[in-house]
Amino acid sequence: MYKAILFDLDGTLINSLDDLADSANYALKKLNYPVHETEKYKYFVGDGVFKLMERVLPEGKRTQSEIESLLEIYLPYYERHSFDKTKPYSGITQTLLKLREAGIKLAVVTNKPEDISKVIIQNFFGNSLFDTCLGSKSTRAQKPAPDIVFDTLRILGAEPSQTLFVGDTAVDMQTAANSGCVSAGALWGFRTEEELLNSGAKYIARTPEDLLSITAIG
């Protein structure tokens, strides 16, 4: 059995696609740029907020100054609207409770800004399900760099070989590989089974409940 499980946030624990898309489109409108269909955001997100702003801008406008201008509008708007349509995936809370009851340490590891991530986790999951939540900070490299995983494992007192990393994108599977964790692709999230397998997923979880069999407690 694993000693620890690390979870990505967007597309793994919560379905936040609508609020992410609405907030980015709001910022684009404010700067008179064209907006995007919500489904396209499944491939815009995953690499942090700076990269998200870069991807949604027209190709000829992806300058540092334009990205920063968009961020100044996007971030405060998203903070105010991050709970409008977002909700945990069906079955995820019950699965987390069972994993916790089995004595497995749980943590959130995300490229979303850390302060926003902690508010979201507290709102949807309270203070007792997760041992820690680490997100994007200027002092730490983002996923797929292993830094954030190593920081998390130090807090949890776990080794990579004892840890399952659950996420819904190639970035998450690459992060698991770079840190020496075992990877599980969350097929209920934003990306495809093909992407997850091609990026090295050892397991594919089609539903949150599949994590119980993968960890041998279900």
Hey, what are 158's tokens? 């776990």
Hey, what are 53's tokens? 């702003």
Cis ω for the linkage preceding 144 (within 30 of 0): yes
- Residue 8 annotated to the active site: yes
Instruction: Quote the CA–CA distance of 215 and 2 in Å, as a whole number.
Output: 6
Which single residue is written with the structure tokens 């907020």? 49
Judged on CB neighbours under 10 Å (0-12, 13-18, 19+), 96 is buried
Of the residues 8, 19, 22, 172, only one is catalytic, namely: 8
DSSP for 70-110?
Answer: HHHHHHHHHHHHTTSS-EEPTTHHHHHHHHHHTT-EEEEEE
Instruction: Quote the CA–CA distance of 4 and 83 in Å, as a whole number.
Output: 28
Please state, as a whole number, how many other Cβ atoms lie within 10 Å of the Cβ of residue 120.
25
Which are the catalytic amino acids?
8
